[in-house]
Amino acid sequence: MLALTISAIIFVPILCYASYLDVMTRKVPFWIWFLLLVPGVPLCVLEYYQMYLLQPNVIALILPISFILSGVFYLLGKLNLIGGADAFCLMFLSVLIPSFPFEPITGYPIYAIFIISVIVNAILFGAILFLPLNSIEPEADSPRSHIPFVPAITAGFIFAIAFGDIFTFVTYWI
């Protein structure tokens, strides 16, 4: 779990920079995602190895789900249902941080797969933060004509690390 915690701490500033670029230009260069790979791959391999030694049945569940979701995100990006930066961000996060780095404050969600919590949070944050901002009709060819989703993914990522998902957070405080 320490390897995933280190990865998560390193990923936050990289995702914040990618979010900034997504909001300002609606384009995130591909080299940004390589910054996730440099620390992420060795730490991820270490985490997968530790999971394999300690809980081989968990790795048999998490590893295929991570790669299947990564493939789904790739297809969504190829079909232009989500932006390329959004697809790569979700792909790399699903493979490089397969489970929660540590137990969230509010406990684990019903589904203990980290990327699903990130997606749930990102969809809700995106709807709350960026749909109202995009309600003003921008010109169709304007770079502002698309909703930036990387900032919502980043917010969802940070929230998932601390609290799991929004639904777990709400039920915890009620």
CATH code assigned at 30:
1.20.120
> How many structural domains comprise the chain?
1
Q: What is the pLDDT of residues 27-68, one digit of tens each?
A: 899 999 999 999 999 998 998 888 888 888 888 888 899 999
Q: What is the dihedral of CA 129, 4, 92, 52, to 10 degrees?
A: -140
Task: Quote the pLDDT of residue 172.
Answer: 81
Greatest Cα pair distance, the chain, in angstroms, is 55
Whats the size of the chain, residue-wise? Answer: 174
Q: Is the pTM of this model over 0.85?
A: yes
Is the separation of the CB atoms in 16 and 154 below 8 Å?
yes
- The Cα 22–Cα 29 span in angstroms is 10
State which residues form the domain around 100: 2-173
| CB neighbours of residue 47 within 10 Å | 24
Residues 6 or more apart whose Cβ sits within 8 Å of residue 115:
66, 69, 90, 93, 94, 97, 98
Helices (H) and strands (E) in the chain, counts: 7, 0
Query: Residues 79, 30, 91, CA angle at the centre, nearest 5°?
Result: 55
Written as six digits, the tokens of 27 are 């384009």
Pick from 18-22, 28-32, 52-56, 87-91: least confident: 52-56
